[in-house]
Amino acid sequence: DQQVKQNSPSLSVQEGRISILNCDYTNSMFDYFLWYKKYPAEGPTFLISISSIKDKNEDGRFTVFLNKSAKHLSLHIVPSQPGDSAVYFCAATEGGGGNKLTFGTGTQLKVEL
Amino acid sequence: GAGVSQSPSNKVTEKGKDVELRCDPISGHTALYWYRQRLGQGLEFLIYFQGNSAPDKSGLPSDRFSAERTGESVSTLTIQRTQQEDSAVYLCASSLEASGGYREQFFGPGTRLTVL
C-alpha cells in the first residue's frame, strides 16, 4: 500500500520555465513533508520541507505548497535550470515517529536547453 | 566534515549467501536509518537507531534481515540467505537526535546489492 504517491514518473521542462512536481498521500497522520533530490550514484539530498500547519514554504527558486484537505503537495521550481535535472522524491513523516520517512516513487525531471 | 559513507559501493552475491553492508554516519549524529530502494520503487524504511534506545525494526521485511549499531558510530546491515528479491540499493542516513521534531537526514551514496 503506497502511502505517498508520485504519479508522474517523468517530467520534461524547458530551461527558464516553471517545473511543477506533484505528490499525493493517504495517511492523515503525516504532519511533515519533504522533497529530496537525487542524482545518479548519489544518495538523496534534502531540498525543502513543510509542516502540516503551513500551506506554503519558499526557499529561493523552490516553493512547496501543501493542500491538507486534498492530501496533496507540490514542488515548484522557477526558473528551472539544467542543473535541476534529477530524480525528485516526495517524503512524509509522522510526529513522534522517530522521523522515519515514507517516500514516493520519484519523478525524473529533465530540464532542456 | 565527512558525510555518511557506505561500503561496499557494489556487491554481487549468489542466492543463498549472507551479505554484510556497512554504514559510517556523520560524527555526532545519534540517529541512524537504513532504507532500501528496489528498481522502480521509492525508498523503503527498514530500521532506525536512536542512541541507546531499542531500535525500531518495523520496516525489516523478514527475519533474514538484521542490523546492529556500535554505540553512536558504525552500523552493519546483515542479510542472511539472500534472495533475488533482495536486490536493491541499500541507503543509510544519519541525523542529529530525532526526538522533539524533525531533524534533517543526510544520506550516504548507497550500496547496490545484486543477488544472482
Q: What is the pLDDT of residue B102?
A: 74
Interface test with A, best of B41, B43, B95, B97 (most A CBs within 10 A): B43
Give residue B98's pLDDT.
65
**Contacts with A42 from chain B: Cβ below 8 Å:** 109
The answer to whether B100 faces chain A, any CB pair under 8 Å, is: no
Determine contact, residues B26/B116, Cβ cutoff 8 Å.
no
Per-residue cell: A62: 523552490
Q: Which three cell numbers stand for residue B15?
A: 542466492
A57 touches B: beta carbon within 8 Å: no
Q: What is the mean pLDDT of residues B60-80?
A: 94
Res A96: pLDDT: 55
Encode pLDDT of A52-76 as tens digits: 999 999 999 999 999 999 999 999 9
Question: All 3 cell numbers of residue A93?
Answer: 513523516
Contact flag A98-B110 (C-beta cutoff 8 Å): no
Residue-wise pLDDT for B35-51, tens only, equals 999 998 889 999 999 88
Confidence check: pLDDT of A97 > 60: no
3-state secondary structure A47-111: EEEEECCCCEEEECCEEEEEECCCCEEEEEECCCCHHHCEEEEEEEEECCCCCCCEECCCEEEEE
Chain B residues with CB-CB distance to A92 below 8 A:
none
CA distances from B98 to B15, B22, B53, B101, B102 (A): 36, 21, 12, 7, 6
Condensed to tens digits (0 to 9), the pLDDT of residues A14-64 reads 999 999 999 999 999 999 999 999 998 899 999 999 999 999 999 999 999
Residue B12 grid cell: 554481487
Question: pLDDT tens digits for B83-113?
Answer: 999 999 999 999 987 666 678 899 999 999 9
Chain A residues with CB under 8 Å of B106 CB are 43, 46
Residue to mutate among B103, B105, B111, with most A CBs inside 10 A, is: B105
Q: With cut-offs at 50, 70 and 90, classify the pLDDT of residue B62.
A: very high
**Of chain B residues 62-91, which have a CB less than 8 A from chain A?**
91
Per the structure block, which three cell numbers stand in for B14? Answer: 549468489
CA A20, CA A13: separation in Å to the nearest integer?
A: 9
Q: How confident is the model at residue A77 (pLDDT cuts 50, 70, 90)?
A: very high
Per-residue model confidence (pLDDT) at position B99: 65
d(CA A6, CA B41): 10
Rounded to whole angstroms, the Cα distance separating A24 from A4 reads 6
pLDDT band (50, 70, 90) for residue B1 = low
Distance CA B51, CA B32 (A): 9
pLDDT value of position A58: 97
Average pLDDT, chain B: 92
Using a CB-CB distance cutoff of 8 angstroms, which residues of chain B are in contact with residue A34? 102
